[in-house]
Chain A
Amino acid sequence: MQEHDLTFVRAEMVIAQAPPRGERGLGSWLRRNLFASVGDTVLTIIGLLIVAYLLPPFIEWALVNAQWTGPDRSVCATVAQGGVQPDGWSGACWAFVQAKFGQFMFGRYPIDQRWRPILVAILFVALIVPMAMPRVPRKGLNAILLFLIFPVVAFFLLVGGVFGLPHVETPRWGGLLVTLALSYVGIVVSLPLGIIFALGRRSKMPVIKTACVVFIETVRGVPLVTVLFMASVMLPLFLPEGVTFDKFLRALIGVSLFAAAYMAEVVRGGLQAIPKGQYEGADSLGLGYWQKMILIILPQALKLVIPGIVNTFIGMFKDTSLVYIISMFDLLGVVRQNFSDATWASPQTPISGLVFAALIFWIFCFGMSRYSMFMERRLDTGRR
């Protein structure tokens, strides 16, 4: 063997060096992201101006000038309006929200019984959090608890009348309780029902197909407001005198059926996106219709339409406010109802209440939206 006479042999890797000064740090980030071109610079400046114009007055209104506690409207009104604030004062009336907080959450649910909705909420969180975290095992048991056992427990806890719990009629429910109860039932009912309608609409059996098409098109063709209004104003006239039909149940049925019809169309979009080869592949394996759907088609189709499904959920969550038409008071309804309390009537009261309601709605909708994006990334196995 002949020895090579090499002057330099590198025995180890070069230590990675930091990027040049101009390419790191805040300055570089700003340059690359905000001021990369003339157009970017102009847009950045316009954006900053808008923020500078809107944000300080809002912070001043919502935090600096805001009134956090107080017994009645006088803390939220200027002297000219019959209050104690100097003329020209403008600030949020969080005292109103604080005084009405219990009502915003539970409506007129009896105060000494409010531990019941709170307990339901704790149970719900205790079940939904492990359900939502992919790492936690025993998903099957969890799903049974959340979708089968929990509704029954929640029903008896909230309605009462058994096990020594006093009965609380649904007209006393309100606020976030109604919003969440309607949304939960709507979501739990509409997804499976929507899948069934979507499958039915693509079925080759004419009766099933026609029935599904008629249901979907009828429900989608009528505004929810109209149906709720009919259910509340017309339905009692057809029923014999004295027979009443719980308004909350009417709203639950209306909202669930509506969400199911929209859901069916979303799911149908997913079914149509699955290549024919997948259906044929399943057939060639000798799978029956339900095995084919459950094992092959639906897992792919539903994954594709997660954005659409969550979109429907968020839309429905906000649509629950329409129940004010039938004098049920969801979060927004209760907030607005309390504007008429003369003890708190002031120019700042309505806007403060609405900002609070908007914040609550936003927290829930944003949460659903972020979680759906997480699930999309996680389930995006085919294209990774």
Chain B
Amino acid sequence: MKHIAIGVLGAAALGLMASVASANTLDDVKAKGFIQCGVNTGLAGFAAPDDKGEWKGLDVDFCRAVAAAVFGDGSKVKFTPLTAKERFTALQSGEIDLLSRNTTWTINRDTALGLNFAGVTYYDGQGFMINAKKLPGVNSALQLSGAAVCVQAGTTTELNLADYFKANKMEYNPVVFEKLAEVNAAYDSGRCDVYTTDQSGLYGIRLTLKSPDDHVVLPEIISKEPLGPAVRQGDDQWFHIVRWTYYALLDAEELGVTQANVDEMKNSPNPKIKRMLGGETDTKIGTDLGLTNDWAVNIIKAVGNYGEIFDRNVGAGSPLKISRGLNALWTKGGLQYGMPIR
């Protein structure tokens, strides 16, 4: 009797330790049957609920892409909306498996915060927008000394702003808000002269201004904001799955594989396409990742290639109409460069 009790206790302790110490996110994710993905609480084009309450956006689609790679089904993902302050805790504590929340890749986050960034899904940069009617004659951010600047709290935006004004020996009054919608309202009602955030954000905000034509975006880009998905450190397999999902999206666009033609592309004579889509005999690309060999097919069937995701959520096919710019493929003068899948 005593032995049985000890055995049960021991097994329970082992089980507990296993669940605590488990560093294998892929197994955990497969066991629970879905990916828990942290997204923005609401940012136009990146993560926002549509009329049916489903999440839509570039960051959201990336979560779906990873879900498709793991499960072959892009809908096996649950979204946790996170504020800027909550996001890292949520990832560190294991509340989410993947953070895809327009998060800037910085050395501090990569090292001190214990994150691993899997790639850059959107190259952004911080800009300034002013009301040209209220501030006539201002055509450079260097003329903004003494201005009241609207900015969101807890973001790299806030830090960049301080750096820029300090470096140029200018004064400014920060007007800080927790939520983007509040910053918008404050700017549109004239509580501050200048609005600063990532340029992608400025496009979304112009949609909500009373007279968009009065507002100009100043030419200065004061920061590099590479936004990308992040995972916890210490689980290389999961990190590789997220990273290669991103590269598969880019390579698919480069090779012309789209959501519509992915099935016929499986028979393509192009060896690169064949290799990516798992059509080679004895291929081990997918299984080496810990997935099935049709992982890339599943991704593209679920969400399309990178170009399609971009176009649908923030590009020409969306109300935001952001041009590809830095986010064009390397073959078209941009920075998006997918590593070879072979």
The interface residues of chain A lying within 8 Å CB-to-CB of B56 are 341
Interface: A25 (CB within 8 A): no
| A345 and B207 alpha carbons, distance in the complex (Å) | 6
Interface: A338 (CB within 8 A): yes
Minimum CB–CB distance for A67 against chain B, Å: 15
Number of interface residues of A (CB under 8 A): 46
If A233-B85, A236-B89 touch, does A337 touch B41 (CB 8 Å cutoff)?
Answer: yes
If A338-B42, A350-B208 touch, does A171 touch B78 (CB 8 Å cutoff)?
Answer: yes
Mark contacts of A327-357 with chain B using CB atoms, 8 A cut-off: 1 yes-contact digit, 0 otherwise: 1010000001111111101110110000000
Cβ–Cβ contact B53 & A237, under 8 A: no
Cβ–Cβ contact A81 & B94, under 8 A: no
The interface residues of chain B lying within 8 Å CB-to-CB of A243 are 94
Mark contacts of B185-222 with chain A using CB atoms, 8 A cut-off: 1 yes-contact digit, 0 otherwise: 10010000000000000001001111111000000000
Selected interface stretch from B44-52, B254-262, B289-297, B333-341: B44-52
Interface: A108 (CB within 8 A): yes
Mark contacts of A242-265 with chain B using CB atoms, 8 A cut-off: 1 yes-contact digit, 0 otherwise: 111000000000000000000000
| A82 and B321 alpha carbons, distance in the complex (Å) | 12
Number of interface residues of B (CB under 8 A): 49
Residue of A nearest to B46 (CB): A340
| A109 and B209 alpha carbons, distance in the complex (Å) | 31
| A326 and B90 alpha carbons, distance in the complex (Å) | 11
The interface residues of chain B lying within 8 Å CB-to-CB of A350 are 181, 184-185, 208
Interface: A241 (CB within 8 A): yes
The interface residues of chain A lying within 8 Å CB-to-CB of B319 are 72-73, 82, 342-343, 345
Interface: B226 (CB within 8 A): no
Cβ–Cβ contact A342 & B42, under 8 A: no
Interface: A363 (CB within 8 A): no
Interface: A102 (CB within 8 A): yes
The interface residues of chain B lying within 8 Å CB-to-CB of A239 are 93
Pick the contact of B180 from A77, A109, A340, A343 — CB < 8 Å?
A340
Which residues B25-82 have CB closer than 8 A to chain A? 28, 40-45, 48-54, 56, 78-82
| A269 and B206 alpha carbons, distance in the complex (Å) | 53
Mark contacts of B1-35 with chain A using CB atoms, 8 A cut-off: 1 yes-contact digit, 0 otherwise: 00000000000000000011010000010000000
**A-B pairs with beta carbons under 8 Å apart, 12 shown:** A80-B211, A81-B209, A82-B207, A103-B53, A171-B78, A236-B92, A242-B28, A326-B86, A327-B82, A340-B40, A342-B204, A345-B319
Could you tell me which A residues sit within 8 Å of B by CB distance? 72-73, 77, 80-82, 99-100, 102-103, 106-109, 111, 169, 171, 232-234, 236-237, 239-244, 324-327, 329, 336-343, 345-347, 349-350
